[in-house]
Structure 1
Amino acid sequence: MDLIDIGANLTHDSFRQDFDAVLERACAHGVRRMVVTGASREGSEQALALARRSGGRLFATAGVHPHHAIDYDEATDQVLRQLVAEPEVRAVGETGLDYNRNYSPRDVQRDVFERQLAIAVEVGKPLFLHQRDAHPDFIAILRHYRDRVPAAVVHCFTDDGDALRDYLDLDCHIGITGWICDERRGAHLRELVKRVPSDRLMIETDAPYLLPRTLRPMPKDRRNEPMYLAHIRDEVARDRGESPEALAESTTRTAERFFGLA
């Protein structure tokens, strides 16, 4: 079954020693294409570099995560504009708001979010979005831009039913990670995932983070990697009452359309 991991942080230091083996294991588990997340100026440049030398297996996003919003300056803005113009970069982001950690001041986060939304409008590329504990401000800002960008995915959705309804009303896509396997924090997603239309549902690992807690056996290093997308596929398929084959088919086709990977 052909799978696409729409969010993998493959520029993370933990992948440096065995990067090629990580890709081979992913392919052996049916994950033949991956979108490498750009979450900072440097990380976005590295994501593009990985995509360029991957032979069509990897693609990239380019953006600045709200954690790094405090570092966003005019030079960063110019670099992002250059990066998103490249054909291997298929979405603007990871961008959004995160009021859980507040590593950057909230007013700075909002300003940097809007600056990246404006870039997406200018280049006409989809949005790869992050939101945590900031839904009212996030949805209010997004509403001003949503009809001017071709598509938007709320990556690593972990919120409640009201937030899901708001996103679907804005014709957003939803990215589901191994958070759904966390009985402490993600059990509510097992019901909510049933509400997502099949043409707006995509799956992702967010590797090396969010290792599925239902995985057996657990890797000794507790590092998540793209090959475990197959486990997430099986969990989501069971929750939706679908076969793994059907879920793989629908999420892959949806990702191909969203990122232009036909």
Structure 2
Amino acid sequence: MDLIDIGLNLTHDSFDRDRDAVWQRARDAGVRRAVLTGASREHSPKALELALTRPGEWFATAGVHPHHATEYTEECDAELRALHAHPAVVAVGECGLDYFRDFSPRPAQRRAFERQLQIAADTGKPLFLHQRDAHADFMAMLKDFDGRLGPAVVHCFTGTREELFDVLDRDWHVGITGWLCDERRGQHLRELVGNIPAHRLMVETDAPYLLPRTLKPMPKDRRNEPAFLPHIVAELARDRGEAVASVAAATTATAAAFFRLPD
């Protein structure tokens, strides 16, 4: 395989002890490139710093997740814009709305999201989006930027059939994670993923989070890794009624085009 993990939280401190070994296992499993998620004022510059250590293999996003929306100040906006001047930063985000946890007040979430939508409009870079239990406000805010944004991917999609078709109707992309493998929460996704056109579909681990529950054997530390991406691809292929090799090739081609990755 030649896979691209579009959502890898490699700056997470659980990788500090063995980051190089984690990536070697991923490469051995067929994961050749990754987009490292920047989701806070602290971790966005770290994602770029890491990406620069493996040019052509690692790339970065830069943004502020809704959980961290209260840190979005004028200084933070200036810092993000400086990061986006670097070509290794390939998308704006992770950004969006999360009304499930409400770790930041909803007005602060909406302000931070709007500022990052403006960065995407100004730079022309793709959007790496997060949405949970906030679909109506999420869609309304993006509609306010109609005609001003480039491509967008709804990362780690976990929503309903109606939400999926709202996303597809806007020609946005969809990121599928190991949530698909969770019989408690992700069963509905198995019935939905066949509706996603191949040129809109990408795969991601969201590691170290969302360890696929169907993985055998399970790692003792319960940490998800990019090496487990082929397992997600295999489950996705089964649910779509397609060959694993076809899904692998299509998702890689889609991700490379979406993030404008060099050959």
TM-score by length of 1: 0.99
Match of 1:175 in 2: 175
Q: Which residue of 2 aligns with 1:161?
A: 161
Q: d(CA) in 2 for partners of 1:185 and 1:212?
A: 12
- In structure 1, the residue matched to 2:204 is 204
Contact 1:37 1:60 in 2 (8 A): yes
Structure 1 residue 229 corresponds to structure 2 residue 225:
no
Give the corresponding residue for 1:117.
117
Opposite residue 208 of structure 1, the aligned amino acid is P
Aligned 1:178-257 pairs, distance under 5 A: 178-257=178-257
- In structure 2, distance between residues paired with 1:197 and 1:152: 15
- Structure 1 window deviating more from structure 2 (136-145 vs 237-246): it is 136-145
Contact 1:143 1:170 in 2 (8 A): no
Measure the CA separation in 2 of the matches of 1:173 and 1:100: 22
Gaps of 5+ in 2: none
Between 137-146 and 64-73, the greater mean CA deviation after superposition: 137-146
Query: d(CA) in 1 for partners of 2:199 and 2:180?
Result: 19
1:99 aligned to 2:106?
no
Query: Which SS does the other structure have where 1:108 is aligned?
Result: helix
Q: Distance in 1 between matches of 2:220 and 2:156?
A: 24
Paired residue type of 1:197: P
| Cα distance in 2 between the residues matched to 1:147 and 1:220 | 48
Note if 1:126 corresponds to 2:126.
yes
Distance 1:94 1:148 in 2: 19
Paired with 1:160 and 1:7, the residues of 2 have a C-alpha distance of 21
Amino acid at match of 2:228: Y
CA deviation after TM superposition for structure 1 residue 145, in Å: 1.9
RMSD in angstroms over aligned alpha carbons?
0.7
- 1:147 Cα shift? 2.8
Question: Are 2:83 and 1:83 aligned?
Answer: yes
Task: State how far apart, in whole Å, the 1-side matches of 2:118 and 2:161 are.
Answer: 28
State how far apart, in whole Å, the 1-side matches of 2:149 and 2:218 are: 40
Query: In the TM superposition, what is the alpha-carbon distance from 1:195 to its structure 2 partner?
Result: 0.4
| 8 Å contact kept, 1:63–1:92 | yes
Letter in 2 for 1:97: L
CA distance in 2, matches of 1:208, 1:169: 31
Match of 1:147, SS state, is coil
Give the TM-score normalised by structure 2: 0.99
Distance across 2 between alignment mates of 1:164 and 1:141? 17
2:59 corresponds to which residue?
A: 59
* Partners of 2:147 and 2:50 in 1: CA distance: 31
Is this contact kept in 2: 1:146–1:170, CA < 8 A?
no
Gaps of 5+ in 1: none
Measured in 2, the distance between the counterparts of 1:172 and 1:208 equals 25
CA contact (8 A) 1:126 1:151 kept: yes
The superposition leaves residues 195-228 of structure 1 with CA deviations (integer Å, 9 ceiling, x where unpaired) of: 0000000000000000000000000000001000
Give how far 1:55 is off. 3.0
Q: Which letter maps to 1:223?
A: R
AA aligned to 1:194 is G
Partner letter of residue 80 of structure 1? L
SS at match of 1:202: strand
Segments of 4+ in structure 1 off by > 2 A? none
Question: How far 1:144 moved relative to its partner?
Answer: 1.9
- Counterpart amino acid of 1:248? A
From the superposition, tell whether residues 89 and 146 of structure 1 become closer, same or farther in structure 2 (CA, over 3 Å).
farther
What does residue 43 of structure 2 align with?
43
- Indicate the SS of the match to 2:90: strand
Structure 1 partner of 2:25: 25
Tell me which residue corresponds to 1:150: 150
Output the CA distance in 2 between the equivalents of 1:146 and 1:182.
34
Partner in structure 2 of residue 13 of structure 1: 13
Number of equivalent positions: 262
Percent identical: 65
